[in-house]
Structure 1
């Protein structure tokens, strides 16, 4: 019979969350590196390359892989012979570990959790409460799978109550096509089948803890229907040509995971949850002997790659930019931005458009005329950093504000990740604006290009405040040009056609 002490449990949660914020798992790195090696799309290969370089820098500097350091989800299996040395509930124990991890001064993690979700949505400031699932099992150990799930991928979770005769594969393919690139592919699809609505969703989430092993499965062949589905979905999703960051390419998913269970004779519940390119999870066991012991990463295990420096890049001075300049930019063209830009996410956009609607002036110093806005909520800096990891957030959430921003503020262009909606693309074309993307999953790499940062509006919003950033050679790609041409539309179509001519897509 083991005795689990309060301090050991809390310290293990703290340690695990710090660990997964900085270190990709070896299986994910290997799969991503393999995808980079075989990728034939220059844009997708560059995106994967940036993610791999970012991963190495984060491991080296022990800083977050992504600015969105996630909502904490823990699946805990408690042995029925375990004794506890604590007066706290299991939820309170996990939350205290989360609190310490996210407020760790050596590597602060962004607090993204808001209370009163249908009302004021006030940030709890310490990323609590977490989501805890508990199962009592035989034994005298506590087994923990813990993850930090980013909002961009979690927001793409899907659930369907299919008819028993419906095709699961067809539903997955149709659904993936509606998900866009906001989940930051390439990643892993977790699928839960059976049970009830909530059970299928839990199975989908739990499946994402399994190591990436699709190539081993291809080599040995499937032994049951779930494994047959994994292989079929893996190949057919990749044949959609969505590619890294939705730019079009060979690899959209690195693996497909499936867990299933019995269900009612009239039901076929199916849930799907993607893990993004900053997939963060770890497993550990407590047996009463002390804190969890996690594997020590070795920097030599990270693939050493270099981005293609032969392609010509257009250098852009943001401080001397006008409409005549952006008219020359081509869809898919890579740019290096230098100069000053502004930031803003959902909360700041809401404040701005409300002030405009009320006929009130914007805060002093906030002027968007001929400027770019970067959709980002950065991590706090440490040491001599001017800013912490600062990758882009999903741009579609700002679509509802874009017409007003382009019409009323003099805004020249926008920077984010993933596609824009049809109405927004039309507004960009009408105003001869442009939309650029930075690579989701390369937050620390992007922060290296930021040379200064200061809050200029709405400081009470925390990471949602409006910053002015000064950047030097910040890499971006033209996703929607002034004529309304979108690479998130043209790229997947182009690569879907190319992949169709590959007899055996996955060797």
Structure 2
């Protein structure tokens, strides 16, 4: 009978979480490299190049791929013949592994978990607790799959109780555009079908742990109805033209994974959860022989892609920025930002808006300034700041009118699209929204030369920082007239893809 030691579980979980913070799965890198080679949209190709370059930098530097180092999810399969040498419960062992990984002094990861979610939302400071799913299975080993799921992609999860006769394809194709690009495509979709409501969601999440093999599946052909559905959904989603970062292009998803289970005759539960450009998961097995350590991947497997700024990119001096210059920017313009910017995201925005409502003076002056929606990783060694990629901009939409009307702010930087409320405020105040690439956090951090907290230090990673940057790459996503490239780009590429399909068939 196998004896599994408490310390072996803890050490293995901690090692795996550190590993996935800076190593993409090879299947994802291979698939993304293939998408890069085939991409025809210049904007999407540039975004994929940044993601691939960032991935290699993270692998070499052992620093997080994304500033959002995720909520930890563990799928644990415990053999029925296993005995435990432990004083902690299994969940407590997993959580201790999380704690060690996220507080590792050489690669400290961002703590994003908040307790009391309905009210005070206080950060637990060590990213615990994890979400743990346990299944008893035959055998004498313990199989553990750990994932670090970013909030941007997790927030785009969708669920429906379809009628038994409803089309799965139609639901997916009609639902996906409404998810926006905050999940950082190109990634993969996990779909769970059947069971009960909660079972479908768990199946969708578990499906994301499977390797990407769509190219191989298409090459050999589908052997089951589920495989046929995977191919159908993969092609139908890519035909939407959403593209990398929602800018329009050929690759929106790299794979679609489906798990199903029996369900009630009156029901067809379906869940869809996307994985983002920071796809992070790993599997290991404990057999009683000690901790499991994952071998480092061969960096030669990474595509030879080294992103450099577009030669047509316009330099912008943030310290001299004026509303007139902001108004001159056109949708899709590539900019290289230098100078000082402020940061702030959900908690900071809410606090500022509440202060303004009470007639209080803000602790920082936003006049003619740019704000970056970011919650960076803490620095290590001689770093100025840790990985510092953008967070989803739509969450700040409800604060945008107040910020633009009452603070002197003239531009914002974030990830993915803006919603109608945000765009209307941008248009009304002749401001602009700039998009940085989600999934390129370490690359972006290299442009940050100085960093200091200037307000709300108690908010941790959500405090207001001042960054001094040099040639930080962004794209004008919403101009001062309210034109959004996240609307025009996908519409253009959807039409192009449809025309190409029609030509092939005709």
SS in 2 for 1:117: coil
In the TM superposition, what is the alpha-carbon distance from 1:111 to its structure 2 partner?
0.3
Q: Are the counterparts in 2 of residues 451 and 469 from structure 1 also a CA contact under 8 Å?
A: yes
Could you say which residue in structure 2 is the equivalent of 1:491?
489
User: Structure 1 residue 52 and structure 2 residue 48: aligned?
Assistant: no
Paired with 1:505 and 1:102, the residues of 2 have a C-alpha distance of 52
Look up the match of 1:84: 84
Return closer, same or farther for 1:310/1:342 CA change in 2, 3 Å cut-off: closer
Q: Which residue in the other structure is 2:401 paired with? A: 403
Q: 2 CA distance for matches of 1:67 and 1:5? A: 32
Once the two structures are TM-superposed, the CA of residue 74 in structure 1 deviates from its matched residue by 0.3
What is residue 389 of structure 2 aligned with on the other side? 391
Q: Secondary structure at the match of 1:289?
A: coil
Question: Which position in structure 2 is the counterpart of 1:423?
Answer: 421
Change (3 A) 1:212 1:504: farther
Correspondent of 2:431 among 433, 438, 444: 433
Q: Distance in 1 between matches of 2:432 and 2:405?
A: 14
What TM-score comes out, normalization by structure 2 length? 0.98
Instruction: Give me the whole-angstrom Cα distance separating, in 2, the residues matched to 1:505 and 1:16.
Output: 48
Assess if the C-alpha contact under 8 Å between 2:16 and 2:293 holds in 1: no
Where 2:161 maps in the other structure, the secondary structure is strand
Deviations 1:180-214 (A, max 9, x none): 00000000000000111111111101101110000
How many Å separate the matches in 1 of 2:422 and 2:300?
Answer: 44
Q: Quick one: distance in 1 between partners of 2:255 and 2:409?
A: 40
Change (3 A) 1:111 1:26: same
Partner of 2:305: 305
Structure 1, residues 309-362: CA drift from partner, whole Å, max 9, x if none?
564110000000101111111101100000000000000001101110000111
Contact 2:4 2:287 in 1 (8 A): yes
2:24 counterpart of 1:24: yes
The secondary structure found in structure 1 opposite 2:272 is: strand
Number of residue equivalences: 504
Cα offset, 1:226, TM superposition:
0.9
Alpha-carbon separation, structure 2, partners of 1:340 and 1:240? 38
Q: Where has structure 1 moved over 4 Å in runs of 4 or more?
A: none
- The 5-angstrom pairing of residues 122-201 of structure 1 reads 122-201=122-201
Check if 1:477 corresponds to 2:475.
yes
Q: Which residue of 1 aligns with 2:249?
A: 249
1:467 pairs with one of 465, 468, 475: 465
Within 5 A, what are the aligned runs for 1:267-346?
267-307=267-307, 311-346=311-346
For the 8 Å contact 1:47–1:245, the answer to whether it is kept is yes
* Deviation per residue, 1:441-495 (Å, 9 max, x gap): 0000000000000000000000000000000000000000011110000000000
Q: Give the Å deviation of 1:251.
A: 0.2
Tell me, yes or no, if the aligned pair for 2:398 and 2:421 is still in contact at 8 Å: no
1:410 deviates by 0.3
After superposition, what is the alpha-carbon deviation per residue over 1:266-294, rounded to whole angstroms, capped at 9, x for unaligned?
A: 11000000000000000110000011131
In structure 1, C-alpha distance between the alignment counterparts of 2:500 and 2:88, rounded to whole Å: 57
- Mapped to 2, the partners of 1:368 and 1:297 lie a distance apart of 45
Match of 2:226 in 1: 226
> Which stretch has the larger CA shift, 218-227 or 407-416?
218-227
Contact conserved, 1:235 with 1:505, CA < 8 A, in 2? no
Which segments of 5 or more consecutive residues in structure 2 lack a partner in the other structure? none
* TM-score relative to the length of structure 1: 0.98
CA distance in 2, matches of 1:55, 1:310: 19
Aligned counterpart, 2:4: 4
> Whole-Å Cα distance in 2 between the matches of residues 265 and 121 of structure 1?
40
| Conservation of the 8 A alpha-carbon contact between 2:313 and 2:335 | yes
Q: CA deviation at 1:155?
A: 0.5
CA distances 1:45-96 after superposition (whole Å, capped 9, x unpaired) = 0000000000000000000000000000000000011111101100100000
In structure 2, C-alpha distance between the alignment counterparts of 1:505 and 1:281, rounded to whole Å: 40
Q: Secondary structure at the match of 1:385?
A: coil
Any conservation in 1 of the 2:310–2:334 contact (CA below 8 Å)? no
Q: Which residue of 2 aligns with 1:72?
A: 72
Tell me the distance in 2 between the aligned counterparts of 1:357 and 1:200: 43
Aligned equivalents of 1:143 and 1:504: distance in 2?
48
Give the CA RMSD over aligned residues.
1.1
CA distance in 1, matches of 2:216, 2:327: 48
Unaligned runs of 5+ in 1: none
Three-state SS of the structure 2 residue aligned to 1:53 is helix
